[in-house]
């Protein structure tokens, strides 16, 4: 029974396994997958080969499991399989029209947190996987403004498998809802040889430019590194030529 699988009160898991799962601390990133979607076996194609105790895990998710004859070890195994199966189903569901709408609602409520970067002005984040293969990479948070990734602040969220969200989700969401895509920050610095007022203005708003007494040092440091690389290359060429007279 669900009662045996939880450590909280009855109110913590409501009347269904999915409600209980979503109310468990650490699962705030997940949305509710419609039961109609889960019951359509076409949507679950191939998952039976990836999940142990597949049939029983699916029955547990849909609240149709008869577990009276199961011992604690079997219940734990089925529970773990149900969590895993729900995560894989979730990855497929959130790129459907219904799933995208639910995740958009969570995005608008900032359920996934805000970008820690100062110039992103508390931009809401979205979960994303670095791999679609389970047990490969943990979930990361994608900022659509600076287009960079961040680790979740909570260790509970940081341990979620990234495959439960997939590599395509945030980009699919903004493809379907382009009106929610924020303006981009400036990702490139202007050349010191041809500076423009607009470029400098963009940097002043969106990008941090290191300066010493008001003078930018970024390009100067880049040029110094280039000079050092050229010097090292020239030294290696001279040493090679001294060892081999035929070296050109």
CATH number of the domain within which 21 lies? 2.20.25.20
- Note the Cα 32 to chain centre separation in Å: 18
pLDDT of residue 199: 36
Give the span between the Cα atoms of 9 and 57, in whole angstroms.
22
Q: Is residue 50 predicted with pLDDT exceeding 50?
A: yes
Residue 60 main-chain phi, psi, to 5 deg = -65, -45
What is the rounded CA–CA span in Å between residue 135 and residue 120?
31
Is residue 108 in a domain?
yes
The answer to whether position 238 is within a domain reads no
Give tens-digit pLDDT for 227-246.
778 888 888 888 887 777 66
Spatial distance between the Cα atoms of 173 and 168, rounded to a whole number of angstroms: 9
Res 196: pLDDT = 36
Q: What is the residue whose two structure tokens read 């050092």?
A: 228
Widest CA span of the chain, in angstroms?
A: 86
Q: Which two tokens stand for residue 184?
A: 């981009």
Is 216 within a domain? no
> CA gyration radius for the chain?
26
Q: Is the pLDDT of residue 6 over 90?
A: no
Domain that holds residue 76: 17-180
Q: What is the DSSP letter of 246?
A: T
The answer to whether residue 7 is domain-embedded is no
Instruction: Compute the distance between CA of residue 95 and CA of residue 174 in angstroms, rounded to an integer.
Output: 11
Residue with tokens 């403004």: 145
Asked if the structure places residue 98 within a domain, the reply is yes
Query: 149: helix, coil or strand?
Result: strand
pLDDT of residue 197: 35
pLDDT in tens, 185-219: 554 444 433 333 333 333 333 777 777 787 777 66
Residue 145 and residue 185 in contact, taking contact as beta carbons nearer than 8 Å: yes
Is this prediction's pTM over 0.85? no
């Amino acid at each position: 029974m669900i009662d045996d699988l939880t450590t909280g009160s009855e109110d913590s898991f409501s009347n269904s396994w999915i409600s209980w799962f979503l109310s468990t601390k650490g699962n705030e990133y997940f949305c509710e997958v419609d039961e109609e979607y889960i019951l359509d076996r076409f949507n679950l194609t191939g998952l039976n080969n990836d999940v142990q105790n597949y049939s029983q895990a699916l029955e547990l998710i849909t609240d149709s499991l008869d577990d009276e004859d199961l011992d604690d070890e079997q219940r734990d195994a089925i529970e773990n399989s149900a969590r895993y199966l729900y995560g894989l189903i979730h990855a497929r569901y959130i790129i459907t029209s219904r799933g995208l709408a639910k995740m958009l609602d969570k995005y608008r409520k900032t359920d996934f947190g805000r970008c820690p970067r100062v110039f992103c002005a508390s931009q809401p984040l979205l979960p994303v996987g670095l791999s679609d293969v389970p047990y490969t990479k943990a979930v990361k948070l994608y900022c659509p403004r600076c287009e960079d990734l961040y680790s979740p602040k909570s260790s509970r969220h940081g341990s979620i498998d990234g495959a439960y969200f997939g590599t395509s989700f945030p980009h699919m969401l903004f493809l379907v809802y382009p009106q929610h895509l924020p303006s981009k920050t400036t990702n490139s610095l202007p050349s010191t040889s041809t500076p423009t007022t607009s470029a400098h203005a963009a940097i002043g708003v969106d990008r941090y430019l290191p300066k010493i007494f008001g003078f930018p040092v970024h390009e100067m440091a880049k040029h110094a590194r280039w000079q050092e690389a050229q010097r090292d290359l020239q030294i290696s060429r001279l040493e090679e030529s001294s060892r081999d007279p035929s070296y050109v």
